[in-house]
Structure 1
């Protein structure tokens, strides 16, 4: 889908007049044809460029002004709500002290009104974030189209103008933190859950079940707003005003640069694989450094993966990692303070001793740094459900491998801090992750199921499940392409758009209404109905006239919009016919739904959400450019285009052949997308040249046992067939001899087949190989065994029916032996 159509479908009706006039800007780029209706267009002049820049500046000023005004309006509403919430909470506290039951109903009504008001503010923040993102994309698209059609590079110049009016750079985290606190107060009726805000910070060992997801940048604010309505934002210091650096987290990972043993261990998930890192929160001035070790445990061991850590002062890190500072000296002050028991200190000393020994003996050095801003959602003091969203994730190099002294002899480089996006670094030293990372953490010892809203969120179109995603693994694989040859399974998916069509109604909605993202679903009676609901009577004449005038303007705008859409569709159709029909539906299909998403509700056809491609050089653009310029490349591109069309047509015909049965969804129906086409469950990705993709394979003792049981079953069957053959040889006639030979052949073949299959499977299990070049299931063995048994049985019955039970076999070696035996017996007088 073209961006202009996407913009028209995603308009928020209350913001209609304040969006970028994308279609108007696009029309300004179209010069008239020299011949009137077709052919070559007139040349782009300096006057045209100046007029376009003035129009573009006007649109930028319009969007910037509206965004600032709306942001100030939201700030004012939040401050007003803070005062109202404080008043109602104070009344609640007085009521609790006085135990006056007569005012319970009035207070409950006030809390309900406040909750609805805060929900409306949350919806405003969501709408403003969507408005900002859509307009920013519109400016980027129109500048790209301008530079391509006019051959004048406007992007660098306009980037300066965007920085002067940065409507897209507002950070909504401050809004989210404040709204979370207020909404939590109202939701709990003035009695929020209290506890240690560190949420387990006093614990040294964390045992959690974690699932990870990617979140596209377009959906980050919406995901945060959805979560805060169920869990408050975790604030470590509620008495301090929120600052952006408070959410910054930086980690430095260690590894051996010759063997990369920690990287491969964590990637392959081998039993006991470790990750050693140093972490600090906030800016570089923070002196408290956490030394952490993450240990992977296989499920069959009965243990869980554990993260253990202790603290060091920043000035002591270098000496401790080098072994110059002993463990006893590092914990001398902690023992002197007496804030921890002797057992706790002894456990920490043991952990520190093991980490120091591994760093020194395995020659571990800093290799990768990860930086991100984390928004954590959790009830204070209750770590049973914890959700975190990491944004602006960036990985940087910390090594000195190529002769560059990035960190030198220090444990971290000092030329960067938390100044994201680290524009001062060269491209080979930094990798900026394009998505946010959502982690849903559940304490497994609690033995609880995730809440329904968590299930709805993880099954929605807003997230993409990426099991076992690791910042350390991804950063190391990206920053060291010449050192790392084994890549994680998600690495080839980085070029795939993770945005998906809406599969069910889920997201931010205003209280008492359903989500509306388009101007096409405006109800002309909304204002009258709303006034009647609030007052219980018909609206006054003045209000009715004002609403009628507003409705007439909105209807006129909608009719103009519909007329413009029809005109645009006609233009696209005519342009497509002129180009050989290339301007068809060019939208990129949504990603295939994974297992969790397939168990969600049935898709809604009328809420399909489409996205346009972000490819800089789409095939249809190349063809159109070649046709417009009269280049000789036009005819090869046109031929290639028709070849692709024919290939797609043949592929669609083949797909219509019923070869498999579609897997049912949770409701028992086939998994289909809104267009009725089956959704593919898997995708194949190809590793870059010289690289291998590691696919995680779970190997437990029961896998070995299952392989052995399968082999023993085949062996048992072969023994049974061999016993049948031996019985036929010893106690049967000549016909039974042939049957015994047939059963013996089947028994030996089955035995050899089972030995070969068992050997191959054991090797695959030991190497943790997935189904590449081999299978863990038996595709042909059982069928061949049935065919062999049928053949042997057919031989036995066929010979028996043909020759009977007593007639010897004519012309056979057995017959000659029998005749010779009879002659010899006769000579002896028998």
Structure 2
């Protein structure tokens, strides 16, 4: 679909005049070119028109943000007053109830029952009025949420429009404007960089007050039962920037944003989290975490906020295999920033500091002992493993959780950046300090060279569930994680990704998700996890808006192609299982549309068959650079093509077919790490197999010795048969020892190889059969 048609269908009708005049700018280019060759005067007028459109869009967005902020402030005042009045009414009701209980009211003479009835009636009416007002406020705030969503969509749609019209201009006129426009215009009016975080945080707090009627739910830390009966599950997802605002708004309608100081106004520094990960030149910690080795550690220093923060947390994450019966743990202790370098160098210990906490009663004996032990172990690991700063991670986190309730915890990290901290290539980054000081939280760190940073293109959503055995997660969580807003990537690690991308010369083994980074994770919108205006709302319009399902579906589709523009391999086909219901069209019309797309897809498949056949040949599994992925790896990759329609990006070209890839192709000279679980019983199984082979070899050897022992000393045939069986037994023992050694090495190295032995049993049976045949043949020949 052309972008001109998309913007008409997807825009919010009430704001139509404030969108970029994409059609007008496109006609400007066509009309001028139809009259004469594009010249400097045309270029100047086009830039002026473009600048005017940019100013219009940016000013409208600023105005709407100010309006929404003021509206939320007014609602907040009203909600607080309503909560205060409601509380006062309940207190009066309670007081009135106590007075009536003491005796008859003088005002009602001898009819105390009538007095109680009158008071109860007034109380009920008051409660109903308060409840009605709360319901109205909840509906009003739902409209505000929809406005914020639409404004976020407004920002994205206009940014796409500016990029596309400039690209069209450069292609048709021969003048190059893209670089200048990005640098001199968009950077001066960066409306598209607005995250709406301040509004979302304030809106979350207000919506939670209204939803709980001024009595915010304080969650139960035990979440309703015995801790041993809980199932804990953590899954990570990637989120495309187009879906950031919608995702936050969907979650805040169910979980409030977790803030530690509700009275403090939101500041961007409050969301910043920075960590410096330590490793050695051989990247031992990276390999341990990547291969999920039992006991693998990750050591990092983390702080919250800007570079001026004085409190640093030293953290150690330890991986535990499931078969151990233990859970992976994360432990940490605080340290003053000015002591970090001395602590790392071994010149300072934390014993005295923690003992002071014990004396002051701020920590229990058990907690202090645990921190002292942790501090000593981390310090020893840094010394013996020769650890130093390697990779820094920075991101802004939005956390959603009921205070004190661990049943559903969601964190959403945006602007994730990975930065080199090492000094290995001769460049002094952190130097003798524990972290580099030339950057802070000034994303996107434009002062750094490209080889020192990796700006992750997606947000990272982490959903932590704690449910009782056999209990399903909340319905809204299931809808969220199965919606178009997220892409599941189990076991994703910021540290692993940073090492793999920033240190390619030192890394031979890469995570399974790395080859899929070029795959577009956007999907057609579904009816799940949508932001909709209340049906009874009078403030909304009946015309299509981005908050309505149909318009959102159009807007969230893969980036459309404008006329005169190549699709550059970025347009893909996909459908839902219920297209008629999804698009709200007649079933016959949906079937006709599907048939048309099927025909188009077949044409594309015919044109690309040669390329696909060639790619299949290149995609065979080899130990040097390719590895097959299964289980979690296959589920985590990008969506791949069906049986016949897999293109280079891994997206299905066959409508209606969406499958997960089963193999990834690594870069030349790299191997893909496949998650492999190794339990003790695997070693035992190898030992049992070896002992069985040795036992069988002894039996075969005994047969040979028996033939030799009970035959005539001059019987050459018996000697030949005995020699054959004994030789087979000796070769079997040597083969068994070799297979045992190879399997142990593969298991210890967590190699995803095929451990099944196809050759050994067949060869053994063949040699024994050959010995029997030779023996019978010689006996028969001797008899003749």
Q: How would you bin the TM-score normalised by the shorter chain?
A: 0.7 to 0.9
The reply on whether 1:66 has 2:66 as its aligned counterpart is no
2:591 alignment partner in structure 1? none
Which residue number in structure 1 is paired with residue 252 of structure 2?
A: 228
List alignment gaps of at least 5 residues for structure 2. Answer: 95-119, 224-230, 544-559, 585-603, 618-630, 636-640, 644-651, 706-720
Q: How does 1:704-723 map to 2 (within 5 A)?
A: 704-705=683-684
Asked if 1:699 is matched to 2:662, the reply is no
> RMSD of the TM alignment (CA)?
4.8
1:117-150 per-position Cα deviation (integer Å, ceiling 9, x unaligned):
2111111111110110111121112212322333
What residue number does 1:522 align with? none
Which is worse superposed, 706-715 or 278-287? 706-715
SS of 1:227's equivalent in the other structure is helix
Q: Aligned to 1:110, what secondary structure does the other structure show? A: helix
Name the structure 2 match of 1:686.
Answer: 665
Offset, 1:208: 6.4
* 2:43 aligned residue (34, 43, 49): 49
Deviation of the 1:233 alpha carbon? 0.4
Query: In structure 2, the residue corresponding to 1:383 is in which secondary structure?
Result: coil
The verdict on how the C-alpha distance between 1:815 and 1:689 changes in structure 2, with shifts beyond 3 A counting, is: closer
Distance 1:346 1:339 in 2: 13
CA distance in 2, matches of 1:141, 1:683: 35
Unaligned 5+ runs, structure 1? 35-40, 200-206, 514-528, 535-546, 552-567, 577-582, 594-600, 610-640, 655-662, 727-739, 797-808, 820-830
Determine the C-alpha separation between the residues in 2 that align with 1:321 and 1:327. 11
Paired with 1:104 and 1:781, the residues of 2 have a C-alpha distance of: 82
> Is the alpha carbon distance of 1:419 and 1:587 closer, same or farther for their aligned partners in structure 2, counting shifts above 3 Å?
closer
For 2:398 and 2:745, how far apart are their aligned partners in 1? 45
Distance in 1 separating the partners of 2:537 and 2:265? 38
Kindly state the Cα deviation for residue 775 of structure 1 after the two structures are TM-superposed. Answer: 2.6
Q: Which residue of 1 aligns with 2:87?
A: 93
- 1:525-604 correspondence runs (5 A): 587-589=570-572, 602-604=577-579
CA distance in 2, matches of 1:145, 1:295: 53
CA distance in 1, matches of 2:76, 2:330: 39
For the residue of structure 2 that corresponds to 1:86, the secondary structure is: helix
CA drift at 1:355: 0.9
- Indicate the residue corresponding to 2:15 in structure 1: 15
Q: Does 1:215 align with 2:239?
A: yes
Which residue of 2 is the match for residue 490 of structure 1?
513
What CA distance in whole angstroms lies between the structure 2 residues aligned with 1:608 and 1:264? 47
* 8 Å Cα contact 2:573/2:653 also seen in 1: no
Contact 1:92–1:107 (8 Å) recurs in 2: yes
Distance 1:299 1:152, change over 3 A: same
Q: Distance in 2 between matches of 1:220 and 1:374?
A: 12
1:766 aligned residue: 748
TM-score (norm 2): 0.73
The counterpart of 1:455, out of the listed 468, 474, 478, is 478
- 3-state SS in 2 of match to 1:357: helix
Distance change in 2, residues 1:497/1:717 (3 Å): farther
CA distance in 2, matches of 1:815, 1:241: 101
Change (3 A) 1:237 1:646: closer
Counterpart among 389, 406, 419 of residue 383 in structure 1: 406
Aligned-pair CA distance for 1:607 = 4.5
Quick one: which of 232, 245, 264 aligns to 2:269?
A: 245
Alpha carbons of structure 1 residues 407 and 446: separation in structure 2 relative to 1, 3 Å: farther
Q: CA deviation at 1:406?
A: 2.4
Contact 1:371–1:395 (CA<8 Å) still a contact in 2? yes
Is the CA contact (8 Å cut-off) linking 2:166 and 2:178 kept in structure 1? yes
C-alpha separation in 1, matches of 2:57 and 2:569: 28
Give the paired residue count.
669
Distance across 1 between alignment mates of 2:262 and 2:30: 56
Q: Secondary structure at the match of 1:291?
A: strand
Aligned residue for 2:453?
430
Q: Is the 8 A contact 2:298 2:318 kept in 1?
A: yes
CA contact (8 A) 1:498 1:590 kept: no
C-alpha deviations, 1:678-709, integer Å up to 9, x for none? 32321543322333222221222244455567
Aligned CA distance change for structure 1 residues 59 and 751 (closer, same or farther; 3 Å): farther
Match of 1:164 among 177, 188, 195: 188
Cα 1:400–1:754 shift into 2, 3 Å: closer
2:490 to 464, 467, 483: 467
Q: 1:145 to 1:585 in 2, by over 3 A?
A: closer
Q: Aligned pair 1:152/2:152, yes or no? A: no
1:421 match: 444
| Alignment CA distance shift 1:705-1:189 (3 Å) | farther
Matches of 1:605 and 1:758 in 2, distance apart? 59
- Indicate the residue corresponding to 2:97 in structure 1: none
Cα shift readout 1:288-343 (whole Å, capped 9, x = no counterpart): 11111111111111111111011111111111111111232332442343211223
Give the 3 Å change call, closer, same or farther, for CA 815–261 of structure 1 in structure 2.
closer
